[in-house]
Each structure stands twice: as structure tokens, then as C-alpha cells.
Amino acid sequence: MRATPLAVTALAAALLLTACDSGGSDDSNGTGKGGDACGIDQLGVEVGPANAAPAAGDTGNIPVSVTNQSSPCALDGFPGIELNAGDKSATVPAADGAKPEKLTLAKGDSVTFTLTYVRGGTSGAESLAAKTLRISMPGAGDDEKSFPWTYGPVALKGGEPDASVGPFTHAGD
């Protein structure tokens, strides 16, 4: 009879489709599912070298490299970025239209993200005289690392930094 081979074929197709999970990253490029959130204390973080904005109104880009120095962990979301000017601090938002991808890092794996900013003037309410860059990892609580900000004042737009942070990508992508 013809019904049995058709039923077997349909079942095989259904099982094959079930095995193809489109809801996450694949393991072909070192990413995958699972793992606890990467804590900043288990990561080596290097800021720069930067393509700093030379004058007010110019745009600068600061690459940040992150390397897992411990057991496998996951990055799911955007890095947390805060610029601190001593008496004032501001959170840098994610880049418009950017979509983060969940990445799992094995020990020794590296990823990067880019912080883009517009340089502000040397004084006034339209600039944040940032002194410190604070970086935290998504899903890892309040842990953060601080780095000196040596790229000049950051322009403000509506009281918020004219800056954005991009998603994590594997180093070399």
C-alpha cells in the first residue's frame, strides 16, 4: 500500500525539520547555545586603539576587544556602556537598528564591539567632559570595569550622549 511509505516519509521530514533549530546561533563558527552569562571579571577587555574624533562635530570609533579567560559563557545582548564625567554620568544606547546575537565563548574566544561617538565642544551644556568609560556585560549583574576616557568631550543631543554601541561580533568578522 501507498499510505505506509507516505506516512514514513512525512514523519522523517517532520523529524528533520525539528532537528533544524532556527532559534539560535549555530556551532559552525564557534558560537552556540547555553552557558552562563559572561561576567566582566572572567574577560580580558582591551579598549582601542581608537579612530578618535579630532574636532568638535567629528565622529570617532572605539573598538573594544573582549576575550574569555575562563569557562564557557554566553553574551546575549549589548554591552553596557556608561560615560562618567565625575559629577555626571550618561548611558550610551545601542546603535539604531542593530540586533544582538547570542554568542557562546569558549576559553580563549574573542569578540569585539564598537563604540561610536560625536566629539563635543570644550565647554557648555552640549558636551559631556567624560573622564571614565565603564563597561559591563549583558546579564552579568552590576559588575563593570572602568577605563580612562582620553578621546575628548562627547557631544550631547537632548541631554543624552551623541554616541552608540554596536553588537558583539566575533573578532575578524
pLDDT tens by residue, 74-130: 999 999 999 999 889 999 999 999 999 999 999 999 999 999 999 998 777 789 999
Place 35 in a pLDDT band, splitting at 50, 70 and 90: low
Could you check whether the bond before residue 153 is cis, i.e. omega within 30 degrees of 0?
no
How many CB atoms are located within 10 Å of the residue 92 CB? 23
pLDDT at 18 over 70: no
In DSSP terms, which residues pair with 145 in a beta bridge? Answer: 135
Query: In a 10 Å sphere around its CB, with 0-12 CB exposed, 13-18 middle and 19+ buried, how is residue 139 labelled?
Result: middle
What would be the CATH architecture of the domain defined by 35-170?
Sandwich (2.60)
Coil, helix or strand at residue 14: helix
Taking the domains of the chain in order of start, what are their residue ranges? 35-170
pLDDT at 23 over 60: no
* CB 102, CB 33: distance < 8 Å: yes
The whole-number pLDDT of residue 3 equals 46
- Cell triple for residue 130? 567624560
Q: CA 123, 124, 129: angle at the middle one, nearest 5?
A: 55
Q: What average pLDDT does the chain have? A: 81
pLDDT at 13 over 50: no
